[in-house]
Amino acid sequence: MSTNDMYKHPYQRMLQVIIHFVSWILLFGFPFLVFSRDNDIAFDIKLWHHGIVLVSMLAVFYLNFFVLTERYLFQKRIPRFFLYNVVLVVVLGVLIHYWKEMGPTLFPNAPIRFGPERSVLVLVFRDIFPLILVMGLSVAVKATAKWYNLEAQHREEAERRAQAELQNLRQQINPHFLFNTLNNIYALIAISPDKAQNAVHDLSKLLRYALYENESDTVTVAQEAAFITRYVDLMRIRLTAETTVALDVKTVVDSSLPVAPMLFITLVENAFKHGISPNRPSFIKLSMHLEGDGVLFFKVINSFNPKDTSDRSGSGIGLDNLRRRLDLLYPGRHAFEQRIEEGTYRAELVLNL
């Protein structure tokens, strides 16, 4: 990974340069503010001393930032990383000491305050210590940038995987939905060809929604309610008087709140699949309404008539698909419950839009 992966956008790269530049300017100027009243040492000498230290710090910081940390520390070549840094810091510490000693020669007329005499080793260590701190700072900044880049990559990869999975789940809905409706129309052909023809026309509208709106991330609640209404109307045409179907979406027909497309169709399909019996009275009740600040409730109650093992229409794909889509699209913002009591199936899906 290159050093500037974190700053791919031009504005981010510019911000990085500005932050580094301002930080070094402040670091260089701070000693002058602190020691501005010290008149025993000339300004030229101060400038020379602090300039030497600053240039040495720059060398240590950016050699580690651009080269040593990436090439050796992150590649787990740790002994070589420390060896190069020890050599770098010691050499610069010695050079700083001797460069400072050149001050009186370069500025012979500057007033100089002479303090107690110290050994060369003490003076060199004094100059080395700040370089060690700068080396640690450089490694910390580089490691933070690398961590940030890795986290960003992981988030992008997770998002790509989630989008790919959602796309796959959407593609599963279409054939499942088409399979169930075609079965219904096929059975209707033998009973009433005219009704079957109208049903094909209605099915084309549903498929248009399934193919085009399903590619969008969201549709309005009103659009989803209209789709469910058309689907229920299509399924009604082959029902007998022994089956009653009630659909209540009147409170959401004008809602412009966004919701994932075809999120409720699985529950509606299952209601018609398991709620209708050919030899006894059956019922299906569907409702959708909004409460409070964008909380959507979808409820299904139907008579429960389990199919035998030979019925493979759907094969349980729908509910697994629904649960996974809810986890991906509404994490922490949904509740889904279903139960069977005394021959009645009840399901409730709550979404915090």
The total of other beta-carbon atoms located within 10 Å of residue 161's CB is 11
Chain mean pLDDT for the chain: 80
Q: Which domains does the chain have, with CATH numbers?
A: 3-117 (no CATH), 172-352 (3.30.565.10)
Q: What is the pLDDT of residues 232-252, one digit of tens each?
A: 988 887 788 889 999 999 999
pTM: 0.58
- pLDDT of residue 282 exceeding 70, the answer is yes
CA dist., res. 154 & res. 175, Å (int):
32
CA dist., res. 328 & res. 314, Å (int):
22
pLDDT at 1: 45
The total of other beta-carbon atoms located within 10 Å of residue 15's CB is 12
225 exposure class (CB count in 10 Å sphere: 0-12, 13-18, 19+)? buried
Q: What is the pLDDT of residues 72-121, one digit of tens each?
A: 999 989 999 999 999 999 899 888 878 877 766 666 665 555 445 456 56
CA dist., res. 217 & res. 175, Å (int):
19
The pLDDT-based confidence of 68 (bands split at 50, 70, 90) is: very high
289, 291, 293, 298: CA torsion to nearest 10: -40
pLDDT at 14: 79
Q: What is the pLDDT of residues 37-64, one digit of tens each?
A: 455 556 667 777 778 888 899 999 999 9
SS (H, E, C) 240-301: CCCEEEEEECCCCCCCCCEECCCCCHHHHHHHHHHCCCCCCCEEEEEEEEEECCCEEEEEEE
SS3 at position 43:
helix
